[in-house]
A and B are shown apart, each in its own frame.
Chain A
Amino acid sequence: MTTTATTVEYIKTDEIEKRAADVLRQHGLYSIPVDPVILANRVGIKVHNAKFSDEALSGMIAKRGNAVTMLVNQSDVPYRKRFTIAHELGHHFLHLLADGDFVDSAIDLFRDLESPAEAAGPRRAEIQANQFAAALLMPADLVRDAFVKCQDLHELARLFNVSEVAIGYRLNRLGLA
């Protein structure tokens, strides 16, 4: 992960959840399954496939003025691309208030808890983007509603169009499993 963004302010997880839900509501996408490509297009970002020099890279986002470029690794499987796009949207909504860019590797994408050592470091932005991505693809209230009706992990994964690992992780984070 590299970033040109300087200081990343601390944002509570609940606040990130709220911001993700607000973004979805503002763009009329607060229903499952959430499509991050449509959301990106609605905020004026075109997402492109790309071949990176390092295959471990999942995606990148760069902002220069009003121009925002988002690229995802063309070799990644669809659910990984979905998560990468949601993650880059997290950078867009949380961190790219001014010009900057984020380059993300696959290793970073599932980290969503901040350790004390990373509290002020550049990984904070990645962790926040991961939390935003999870909240965007699996909004807490919608996950709870769905979980009441169905506890089958496979079916929930289908409903939210995410991997079973991702929904399992989300249920765990929300204290449902």
Chain B
Amino acid sequence: MGEALPIPDALKSRIIGVGGEVQPKDVDVYGRLREIEDRSYKLRTVLDAWERQQSEERALRQGYAKKILIALLAQMGLVNMAFFALGFRWLSAEPWVANTFIMAVFGEIAAMALVVIKYLFPKVGSDVLSIIEKL
């Protein structure tokens, strides 16, 4: 604090120090409140949008996951039926054809499981956190 103002001698004993100039924003009581409310409103908007997006994506993923699961079950049922049919000789096929068919189906199942894990359940992005930090 430095005294840069012309202060009458009679008042100097009552003043310990003089600080900076008062600006309009320093006395704008509700301005600060409005600022906080605006920031809070923006934050709520971002979080609401993020929540909606997450819900929609989850619903979409659920839909895909169900369809893939049904396809996988059908595939597994088919390969098991084929396996038993070959075993009980209701079907006949060259051994290499049967082996290739069964291995190919299990490969397909593994690939589908990989697709589900990798693309339907991606890592949670930090986009929303970076947006919040900017607010």
Contacts and interface: CB of A to CB of B under 8 A. Distances in A.
A81 B7 CA distance: 20
Interface string A7-50: 00000000000000000000000000101111000000011111
A54 B14 contact: yes
Contacts, number: 93
A90 to B, nearest CB: 16
Interface in B9-51: 10-11, 13-24, 26-33
A27 B29 CA distance: 22
Given A62-B8, A161-B29, A161-B30, A52 B23 contact: no
A158 B30 contact: yes
Interface residues of B, number: 27
Contacts of A53: 13-16
Given A36-B27, A38-B24, A47-B22, 12 more contacts: A35-B24, A48-B18, A50-B19, A51-B17, A53-B13, A60-B11, A67-B6, A69-B7, A71-B5, A81-B22, A158-B33, A163-B29
Interface of B: 1, 5-8, 10-11, 13-24, 26-33
Contacts of A35: 24, 27-28
